[in-house]
Structure 1
């Protein structure tokens, strides 16, 4: 009986909570890497301006993150851009599967090269991202709207 009730939890709700939650994780991380642009709708903090690397960003990639084969300047740019673009797409439910795949790739890199001891946290991220890759953004997504329009 309980299993029957719980199986009625709609995909759209799980997908929406998953999209919002994982987007917040990466967005907040990206926000620590920039100055001049601060948007936190939950806290109500909005500072619009031209984004630039925070003073500590390049040092972070040179000293702590140190990815192999990628210069720290390029790694910082790629990570910061990914942490701002893909969360917005996920939140909107636009290119959900592709965005989730990109963030899963980033999660794998972080797990292997940066924080290998953080596997419980990265496992949670991977689970949400894999769910979104497999099932899509749900009914409350632009992806769904576009899919329905293409059937007309």
Structure 2
């Protein structure tokens, strides 16, 4: 029994296990924002913003300058999750989504802290602290710069 416990702990402490865990964290966080981003885009287009998006930012979110904030948020909700999914500039992407979550929490849906904002905060902080992990494109750059 003691040997099984030690092996289990050793497996959970391995770089491979951490890499898989960070990949799942990246995908879980990115998927939330990516799905939201796609609701703001005209069907069949890559990134043509729907006019109703600006109404949403003005009427429901009550954001200033809805044409600007809606456009910036929509692009950020596409770019940052894409970076995170690829594991490219993971810490930067996670920091950007953390800032977006803070804005949503403070100004849009302050009552939604425990679900889902606290999860988004946690996932963002994990990626900011640990990076993208073994299965991230960031790894290629880490190795390239480490050899110099």
Same fold by TM-score greater than 0.5: yes
Q: Which residue number in structure 1 is paired with residue 38 of structure 2? A: 31
**How far apart are the structure 1 equivalents of 2:6 and 2:31?**
30
Partner of 2:132: 137
TM-score (norm 1): 0.84
Unaligned stretches of 5+ in structure 1?
A: 37-46
TM-score calculated relative to the size of structure 2: 0.86
State the Cα deviation string for residues 55-88 of structure 1 (Å, max 9, x = none). Answer: 3201100101112xx4111110111000000010
CA–CA distance in structure 1, aligned partners of residues 112 and 36 of structure 2: 15
- Alignment match, 1:125: 120
Higher helix share: 2
Question: In 2, distance between residues paired with 1:144 and 1:15?
Answer: 13
How far apart are the structure 1 equivalents of 2:126 and 2:65? Answer: 32
Q: Which has the higher strand share?
A: 1
The number of residues matched between the two structures is 139
Gaps of 5+ in 2: none
Q: What's the counterpart of residue 21 of structure 1?
A: 28
Alignment of 1:36-51 (within 5 A): 36=43, 47=44, 49-51=45-47
User: For 1:16 and 1:144, how far apart are their aligned partners in 2?
Assistant: 13
Partner of 2:55: 59
- Over the aligned positions, Cα root-mean-square deviation in angstroms equals 1.8
Q: Which has the larger radius of gyration?
A: 2
